[in-house]
């Protein structure tokens, strides 16, 4: 009797089919990129008989279930930014390269300028008497008040108007004279060239008088002695023209764009500047200890040629003993009116005040005293 053809048992085919389904399921969960797992399983099922259809349907159902779960996981995964980097050797082409970490936002390091900006900017308060009406009572024609620490302008009036500045010029004269580093003890004789041929003003310092450079600078700053300033400008390498040129160069260096000098005394109305420019001059002069000391002395006695001359400060506020004035300089000619520049220490805070063109001999001093009261009250 002929033997029947050998056929594999159902149990063996079932095991093989289930093994193939398990491989497909593991690959889909692990993220391995098969070409088409469902298609492969379908081919396997096609090779089996109808008796194994139930096992194939179970395998397909398991695979579809886990495929949906993997798709949901990818959809809800956190978004990661990718860099686009150029492929070496292929100009104009870019490849998308995944950066496995998001780019954190970089913080800019804090600088000293940030600290200045963060500091509270001062302002004048109406409760301290500073109002539009009280401001109109200030007599000076050009005003600029600035908090030196923050650069905040507290009061401005015609601050950019170019006007004559009279003996405020002597602040620049003093800086240029000190920049030469000539010995302060060196004697200096007053000559006929030091006379005032602009306004023909007189002086107690006679032609032929001899004083040290220190004494000349002292009385020029404190009492606005014109012949002392003229003698210092003459005692310069290249003479007086070179000295005046150095004054103008220094003004440019300080950013005083609307300032020009023709002499060292300020007697010429062609010595011009603005209130804003002069605030830069005050800030620069504050770096010279001699200027601060000499300009705020109440009096000084000098001894030219065995004589004796006593000078007093030209600023009534200094003569009255106002110790909050760090440095100052007054000035007057008819074309400029009465002028004063000051640096105050208001509760330890440096504030520069520039007052130009006051009509009366006491108006600039009264304006300065009033502004100081507003500052002291507002900066409590």
Check 28, 140, 167, 223 and give the catalytic one: 167
Please count the other Cβ atoms lying within 10 Å of the Cβ belonging to residue 180. 14
Nearest to 278 by CA among 326, 341, 367: 341
- Measure the CA–CA gap between 126 and 131, rounded to whole angstroms: 5
In Å, what is the CA distance from 194 to each residue of 27, 146, 201, 220, 314? Answer: 104, 36, 11, 13, 21
Q: How many helices (DSSP H) and strands (DSSP E) are in the chain?
A: 13, 13
- Measure the CA–CA gap between 318 and 325, rounded to whole angstroms: 7
Residue 224 annotated in active site? yes
Residue 4 annotated in active site? no
Residue 125: CA count within 13 A, CB half-sphere: 11
Report the interhelical angle of 37-46 vs 10-30 (nearest 10°).
Answer: 170
Check 28, 224, 233, 378 and give the catalytic one: 224
Residue 68 annotated in active site? no
And the tokens for 53?
């259809």
Check 28, 140, 170, 209 and give the catalytic one: 170
83-86 long-range contacts, CB within 8 A, separation 24+: none
| DSSP code for 106 | P
Residues forming the active site: 167, 170, 224
């Amino acid at each position: 009797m002929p033997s029947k053809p050998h056929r594999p048992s159902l149990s063996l085919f079932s095991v093989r089919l289930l093994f193939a389904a398990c491989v497909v399921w593991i690959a889909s969960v692990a993220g391995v990129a098969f070409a088409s797992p469902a298609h492969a399983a379908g081919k396997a099922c096609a090779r089996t008989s109808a008796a194994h259809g139930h096992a194939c349907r179970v395998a397909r159902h398991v695979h579809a279930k886990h495929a949906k779960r993997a798709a949901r996981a990818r959809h809800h995964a956190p978004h990661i930014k990718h860099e686009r980097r150029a492929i070496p050797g292929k100009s104009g082409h870019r490849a998308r390269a995944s950066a496995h970490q998001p780019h954190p936002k970089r913080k800019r390091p804090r600088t000293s300028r940030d600290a200045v900006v963060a500091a509270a900017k001062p302002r004048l308060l109406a409760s301290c008497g500073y109002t539009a009406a009280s401001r109109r009572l200030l007599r000076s024609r050009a005003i600029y008040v600035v908090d030196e620490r923050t650069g905040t302008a507290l009061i401005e009036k015609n601050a950019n108007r170019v006007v004559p500045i009279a003996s405020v010029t002597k602040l620049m004269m003093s800086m240029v004279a000190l920049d030469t580093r000539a010995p302060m003890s060196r004697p200096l004789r007053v000559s006929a060239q030091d006379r005032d041929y602009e306004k023909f003003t007189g002086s107690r310092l006679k032609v032929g008088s001899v004083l040290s450079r220190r004494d000349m600078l002292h009385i020029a700053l404190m009492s606005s002695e014109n012949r002392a300033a003229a003698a210092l400008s003459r005692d310069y390498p290249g003479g007086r023209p070179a000295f005046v040129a150095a004054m103008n160069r220094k003004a440019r260096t300080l950013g005083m764009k609307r300032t020009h000098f023709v002499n060292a005394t300020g007697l010429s109305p062609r010595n011009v500047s603005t209130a804003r420019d002069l605030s830069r001059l005050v800030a620069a002069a504050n770096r010279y200890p001699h200027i601060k000391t000499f300009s705020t002395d109440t009096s000084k006695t000098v001894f030219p040629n065995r004589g004796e001359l006593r000078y007093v400060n030209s600023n009534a506020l200094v003569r009255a003993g106002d110790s909050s004035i760090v440095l100052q300089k007054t000035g007057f000619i008819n074309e400029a009116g009465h002028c004063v520049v000051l640096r105050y220490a208001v509760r330890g805070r440096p504030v520069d005040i520039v007052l130009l063109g006051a009509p009366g001999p006491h108006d600039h001093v009264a304006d300065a005293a009033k502004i100081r009261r507003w500052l002291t009250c507002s900066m409590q």
